[in-house]
Chains A and B, each alone.
Chain A
Amino acid sequence: MSFWKKEGTQKILSSLISILIGLVVGAIVVLVVGIFNKSISLKGAWEGIRLIFIGILSTGRNASGALTWGFNPASIGNMLFRATPLIMTGLSVALAFKTGLFNIGAPGQYLMGTLATLSIALSIPSGALPGWLIWLLAFLGGVLAGALWGAIPGLVKAFLNINEVLACIMTNWIAANLVTWAFDASNFKNMVEGTKSGYIYKTTYGLVDGSYVDGAGIATAKLGLNKIFPGSQINAGILVAIILAIGVYILISKTTLGYELKACGANRHAARYAGIHDKRNIVLSMALSGGLAAAGASLYFLSGNTEFFWSTYQSLPAAGFNGIPVALLALNNPIGVIFSAIFMAMLNIVGLQLTNLTAYNEYITDVIIAVIVYLSAFSLAIRMLIAGKKKAVPPKNGYPKPGDPKPEDLKPIDKKPDAAEAVKGGDEA
Chain B
Amino acid sequence: MTFLIQQTLIYAVPLMIVALAGVFSERSGIINLALEGIMIFGAFMGVLFVNLAQKAGWFVDAKAAGNWLALQGFEVLAMLVAALMGAVFSLLLSFASINLRADQTIGGTALNLMAPALVLFFIRLIANQNTLQMATGDSASWFMIKKSTLGFEKNADLGFFGNTLLHKVYLATYICILIFIILSVILYKTRFGLRLRSCGENPQAADSLGINVHKMRYAGVSISGALAGMGGFVYSLTTANCTSNGDVAGFGFLALAVMIFGNWNPLNIAGASLLFGLFKCIAAAYSSLDINGDGVYMLAQIGISSHLYRMLPYIITLVVLAFTSKGSRAPKAEGIPYDKGQR
Contacts and interface: CB of A to CB of B under 8 A. Distances in A.
A405 B307 contact: no
Contacts of B342: 408, 413
Interface string A31-56: 00100010000000000000000000
B189 to A, nearest CB: 25
A414 interface: yes
B110 A373 contact: yes
A366 B92 contact: no
B44 to A, nearest CB: 12
Interface in B315-342: 315, 317-318, 321-322, 324-326, 328-330, 332, 334-337, 339, 341-342
Nearest to A420: B335
Given A165-B105, A328-B106, A422-B33, A366 B257 contact: no
Interface string A395-429: 00000001101001100011011011111111101
Nearest to B106: A377
A313 B335 contact: no
Contact of B101 (A102, A325, A378): A378
B209 interface: no
Interface stretch (A155-163, A287-295, A301-309): A155-163
B113 interface: yes
Interface string A367-409: 1011101101110010000000000000000000011010011
A361 interface: yes
- Chain A CB count within 10 A is highest, among B107, B314, B324, B337, for B314
Given A314-B249, A321-B113, A160 B335 contact: no
B256 interface: yes
Contacts of B73: none
A373 B106 contact: yes
B250 A402 contact: no
User: How would you classify the secondary structure of chain A's contact residues: helix, strand, loop or mixed?
Assistant: helix
Contact of A363 (B121, B253, B329): B121
A370 B117 contact: yes
A420 B330 contact: no
A390 to B, nearest CB: 13
A190 interface: no
B33 A423 contact: yes
A420 B117 contact: no
A315 B116 contact: no
A104 interface: yes
B311 interface: yes
B311 A417 contact: no
Nearest to A414: B332
Contacts of A361: 120-121, 124-125
Given A173-B314, A181-B305, A314-B247, A429 B117 contact: no
Given A177-B311, A180-B307, A426 B325 contact: yes
B175 to A, nearest CB: 27
A369 B113 contact: yes
B78 interface: no
A156 B322 contact: yes
A367 B106 contact: no
A110 to B, nearest CB: 16
Contact of B96 (A178, A377, A409): A377
B149 to A, nearest CB: 32
A74 to B, nearest CB: 24
A363 B120 contact: yes
15 contacts: A29-B121, A181-B305, A313-B307, A324-B109, A328-B106, A364-B117, A374-B96, A374-B110, A374-B114, A377-B106, A405-B103, A405-B337, A416-B336, A423-B33, A425-B260
Given A381-B101, A403-B103, 11 more contacts: A166-B317, A170-B317, A321-B113, A363-B124, A369-B113, A373-B109, A378-B103, A378-B107, A414-B332, A422-B31, A427-B330
